[in-house]
Structure 1
Amino acid sequence: MASVNMADVKRLREITAAGMMDCKKALEESEGDFDRAVELLRLKGAKDVGKRESRTASNGLVALKQDGDSSAALVEINCETDFVAKGERFQELAEQVVTHVLATKPADVAALLESSFDGKTVKEHLDTANAALGEKIEIRRFAVLEGGYIGAYMHKTDPALPPAVGVLVQLDKPNAEVAKDIAQHAAAMAPQYLKAESVPAEVVEKERKLFEEMTREEGKPEAAIGKIVEGRVNGWYKDFTLLQQAFVKDNKKSVGKYAEENGVEVLAFVRFKVGQA
């Protein structure tokens, strides 16, 4: 068996993103032939694609594509390790996918996977990356906003890694500073809904029942329970709806008030964080 140069192992890992031991074994099997070792790893990756289906892809990135000031897309694409997430090949795939999403605006992830670019379906592109990189690669979600004025903010939770948080904010008219401020606020404060009216009725009812149960357990007078519960529901809105959250740059006013003072209306927002609902 040929001795293995550790510098070649390292270079092979950088090129293929395969595990250190897999790289070492491939070089040993190829008797030091570097190109053959690359091919062996890719063949092994293709055979292992099915085995990865049950594995968890909890790392990855959020990719952004904008077309002027009134059209933008975000995509969350996942992998298993941060080593692959910061690799050039994975990031190129993410850029291709988000560009395709903005151009075609598929209905959902299933439709996206069946759509095609560069002669292959998106699913085939993912399978190819899966085989080459040796990890489960998947698209978790995407969003497209069109119309009005759209600002974006991308945040890196680790300087060595690609963006893990992405936010789009849609205003009714152009205001780059306000859009950026609100996008940065959303990145930090993680609102779940735009405003109280945006919250699904079943979600509000669930929270109301929970607050009612808590209030009764606290022994509050029966006549006061309704008012206390409504107060707590309103407090929940201030925590979880963008427009009612206290603005991070001035917590004496809400985000909605900040927008109003600057003569704009927030029409929609999207916030993705890798691995977060």
Structure 2
Amino acid sequence: MASVNMADVKRLRELTAAGMMDCKKALEESEGDFDKAVDILRLKGAKDVGKREARTASNGLVAVKHEGDSLAALLELNCETDFVAKNERFQELAADIVAHIVATKPADVPTLLESELNGKTVKELLDEANAALGEKIEIRRFALLEGGFITSYMHKTDPQLPPAVGVLVQLDTPNAEIAKDIAQHAAAMAPKYLSPAEVPAEVVEKERSLFEQMTREEGKPEAAIPKIVDGRVNGWYKDFTLLEQAFVKDNKKTIAKVADEAGVKVLAFTRYKVGQA
């Protein structure tokens, strides 16, 4: 068996993102031939694709693509480790897919996976990356906003990694400063919905039920319970709806107030954080 140069193992790992032992074994099998070792790892990766289906892909990145000021897409592409998230091929794949979303405007993830990009389906491109990088690679979700004025904010939680938080904000009229402020606010405060009116009825009922149970367990007078529950639901809106949240730069104003004073209306927003709902 040929001796293995550890510098080659490291270089092979950086190129392919395969595990250290897999790289070492591939170089041993190829008798030190670097290009042949790459092929061995790719073949192994292709054979292992099916085995990865049940594995969890909770790392990755958020990518964004704009086309002018009124069309933008946000994508969460997942992998299993931050090592692959840093890989150039993984990041290029994300950039290609989010640009493809802007160009083709697919309705949902299944439609996106079946669409054709560079002569192959997006699903085939993911499988190829899965094989080459040795990890489960999957599209978790994407959002596409069109119309009005759209800005984005991307945040790195680790300077060594690609962005893990991404936000799109759509205003009815252009105002770059306010749009950026709201996008940065959303990145920090993680609202789930735009306004109370957009919270699904089943979510409101679930929260109301929990607050009612909590209030009864606290021994509050029966006659006071409805009013207390209403107050707690309104407090929940202030925590989880963007327009009702207190602005991080001035907590005396809500986001709705900030937008109103600037003469704009927030039409929509999307916030993704890798690995979170």
Q: TM-score range by the shorter chain?
A: over 0.9
- 1:18 corresponds in structure 2 to 18
Match of 1:83 in 2: 83
Distance in 2 between the 1:40 and 1:206 partners? 53
Q: Deviations over 1:80-123 (max 9, x none)?
A: 01010011000000000000011111111011100011110000
Aligned to 1:57: 57
Q: 2:3 aligns to what SS in structure 1?
A: coil
SS of corresponding position for 1:270 = strand
2:224 aligned counterpart, secondary structure: helix
The superposition leaves residues 153-182 of structure 1 with CA deviations (integer Å, 9 ceiling, x where unpaired) of 000000000000000000010000000000
Q: Secondary structure at the match of 1:60?
A: strand
Matches of 1:14 and 1:217, distance apart in 2: 57
5+ residue gaps, structure 1, are none
Give the corresponding residue for 1:43. 43
1:157-236 to 2 correspondence within 5 Å? 157-236=157-236
Cα distance between partner residues in 2 of 1:43 and 1:246: 53
- C-alpha separation between the residues in 1 aligned to 2:273 and 2:218? 36
State the secondary structure of the residue aligned to 1:65. Answer: strand
Give how far 1:15 is off.
0.7
- Does residue 238 in structure 1 map to residue 235 in structure 2? no
| Counterparts of 1:79 and 1:8, CA distance in 2 | 24
| Amino acid in the other structure paired with 1:187 | A
User: Which residue number in structure 1 is paired with residue 135 of structure 2?
Assistant: 135
| CA distance in 1: counterparts of 2:36 and 2:148, whole angstroms | 53
Residue type at the aligned position of 1:27:
L
Identity fraction in percent:
82
**Aligned AA (1:63):** A
Distance 1:157 1:30 in 2: 39
Aligned residue identity for 1:123 = K
Q: Matches of 2:171 and 2:63 in 1, distance apart?
A: 21
Give CA-to-partner distance per residue, 1:206-238, whole Å, 9 cap, x none.
111111111111111111111101000000000
Superposition CA RMSD, Å: 0.5
Equivalences for residues 105-124 of structure 1 within 5 A: 105-124=105-124
Instruction: Write the letter of the residue equivalent to 1:34.
Output: F
Q: Distance in 2 between matches of 1:264 and 1:80?
A: 41
2:250 aligned residue? 250
Partners of 1:208 and 1:45 lie apart in 2 by 49
Cα deviation digits, residues 138-157 of structure 1 (max 9, x gap): 00000000000001000000
* CA displacement, residues 33-79 of structure 1 (integer Å, 9 cap, x when unaligned): 11100000000000000000011100000000000110000000000
One-letter amino acid of the structure 2 residue matched with residue 198 of structure 1: E
Letter of the 2:228 counterpart:
I
Q: Name the structure 2 match of 1:150.
A: 150
Question: Displacement, 1:21?
Answer: 0.5
Q: What is the alpha-carbon distance in structure 1 between the residues aligned to residue 115 and residue 157 of structure 2?
A: 31
The secondary structure found in structure 2 opposite 1:151 is strand
Moved over 6 A (4+): none
Structure 2: tracts of 5 or more residues without a match: none
- Within 2, Cα distance between the matches of 1:64 and 1:163? 10
Give the whole-Å Cα distance in 1 for the aligned partners of 2:244 and 2:129: 42
Shift, 1:275, TM fit: 0.3
Partner Cα distance (1:211, 1:61) in 2: 36
Letter in 1 for 2:272: F
Q: How many residue pairs get matched? A: 277
The answer to whether structure 1 residue 268 and structure 2 residue 264 are counterparts is no
Following the alignment from structure 1 to structure 2, what is the Cα–Cα distance between the partners of residues 210 and 22? 51
